[in-house]
Structure 1
Amino acid sequence: MTLHRDDALKALIPYVADGDIVVAVYQSCFDWLTLHPRDLNYVAVGAMGQASSHALGLALANPERRVFVFDGDGSLLMNLGSLVTIVGAGVTNLYHFVFANRVYEVNGAHPLPGADAIDFAGMARAAGYAGAASFDDLGNFRDSLAAVLGAPGPRMTVLEIVPGKAYPRDYAYIHSAGARTAFRNALNRS
């Protein structure tokens, strides 16, 4: 089966409500910003490995909102301790999507160490996540979304992906004060 990252992100769009926060990193961030631009997209691209930690802080500070994390597999490998920290914090509004292509894509597509042996869903279950599943098929992923997002978190969904369509990497925007100001203003409005 082949699951393209942009198709997976498009499947998520109808489930992201106006008040939900999305924390996306690296190529998932660039793709998401093109596919679904919105002020509550928190851009954490410059913090490789920190998406799950940033999302935890946002989930703790905003328990009435769902927080989606669009993480990369290489990024998550740099901060595996966040999984047990998330569980220990007791958040139920965090939904962790790991886009697993088994390479450090934006840094030259260098392979991850142990790429074929890593079981992210197994790691999430072992850390105590309320649920974890892996998908490599768009239809199965779409069919599961309502159930995954209708249950309390933290939940991890691992998407075994291939890149899909190439979207622009707008580094100027993600590193801009404007992106942070727009996010902060949207967060404070509600």
Structure 2
Amino acid sequence: MTLYRDQALKALIPHVNDRDIVVAVYQSCFDWLQLNPRDLNYVAVGAMGQASSHGLGLALANPDRRVIVLDGDGSLLMNLGSLVTIANSGVTNLYHFLSANRVYEVNGAHPLPGADQVDFEGFAQSAGYAGSHSFTELDQFTEALPAILTAPGPQFVSMEVMPGDAYPRDYAYIHSAGAREKFRAALTRG
């Protein structure tokens, strides 16, 4: 496997425009905030698994914007039902990227239950996503990004990743009222 999460996120950055909403959770969030700080980064913190649900709400409320969800596999396992809800919601502007490293990384790298058996792309496909994809190689992921991000959603991308470079875990920021106010102000500005 040669796909590192930070490399995948760096490959995504040129495809994110100034109107896109990015909903990131836990380690993907920490990495994304360091790699691409921007006002329309929505930090989904609190109960694990809520990034996909928050992303759906934002996609429904903002049909003229792409909503890019940067989820973790441990988080998604906490809310698998959101896949069916998203797939059957009628949204076409949601792009769900999953960093699958088969552990609860932020909580001490504890292994996921059934880590070697879970097929996240298969879950999304069975739920009814418009498209579902899985990548283990950076070059294939990078090459596929333009087509995925211009296809009608919801689109699901499972990135089988290794952690990559370590980025600071700024819990104070992601839990702050300031982070939410910055996002709210940017969204209101349109």
Normalising TM by the smaller chain, what interval?
over 0.9
Matches within 5 A, 1:38-57: 38-57=38-57
2-structure distance, mates of 1:180, 1:60: 19
| Letter paired with 1:91 | V
What is the root-mean-square deviation in Å for CA atoms of aligned residues?
0.6
| Letter paired with 1:62 | N
> What 5-or-longer segments of structure 2 have no aligned partner?
none
2-structure distance, mates of 1:36, 1:174: 15
2-structure distance, mates of 1:48, 1:41: 18
TM-score (norm 2): 0.99
- Give how far 1:22 is off: 0.3
| Letter paired with 2:96 | H
**2:3 matched residue in structure 1:** 3
**2:83 matched residue in structure 1:** 83
Q: How many aligned residue pairs are there?
A: 190
Q: Verify the 8 A CA contact 1:29 1:45 in the aligned structure 2.
A: no
**1:112 matched residue in structure 2:** 112
SS at match of 2:7: helix
Does residue 1:170 correspond to 2:184, yes or no?
A: no
1-structure distance, mates of 2:129, 2:92: 10
Matches within 5 A, 1:107-186: 107-186=107-186
Q: Deviations over 1:65-88 (max 9, x none)?
A: 000000000100000000110112
Percentage identity across aligned positions?
Answer: 75
Q: Verify the 8 A CA contact 1:3 1:162 in the aligned structure 2.
A: yes
- Give how far 1:36 is off: 0.2
**1:64 matched residue in structure 2:** 64
- Give how far 1:45 is off: 2.6
Q: Verify the 8 A CA contact 1:44 1:51 in the aligned structure 2.
A: yes
2-structure distance, mates of 1:181, 1:49: 22
- Give how far 1:150 is off: 1.0
Give the ranges of 4+ consecutive aligned residues of structure 1 lying more than 2 Å apart after TM superposition: none
- Give how far 1:47 is off: 2.8
SS at match of 2:65: coil
1-structure distance, mates of 2:69, 2:47: 13
- Give how far 1:2 is off: 1.5
| Letter paired with 1:167 | Y
**1:100 matched residue in structure 2:** 100
**2:28 matched residue in structure 1:** 28
1-structure distance, mates of 2:106, 2:87: 29
2-structure distance, mates of 1:159, 1:176: 29
SS at match of 1:8: helix
SS at match of 2:106: helix
Q: Deviations over 1:53-108 (max 9, x none)?
A: 00000000000000000000010000000011011211000000000000000001
- Give how far 1:12 is off: 0.3
SS at match of 1:162: coil
- Give how far 1:109 is off: 0.4
| Letter paired with 1:4 | Y
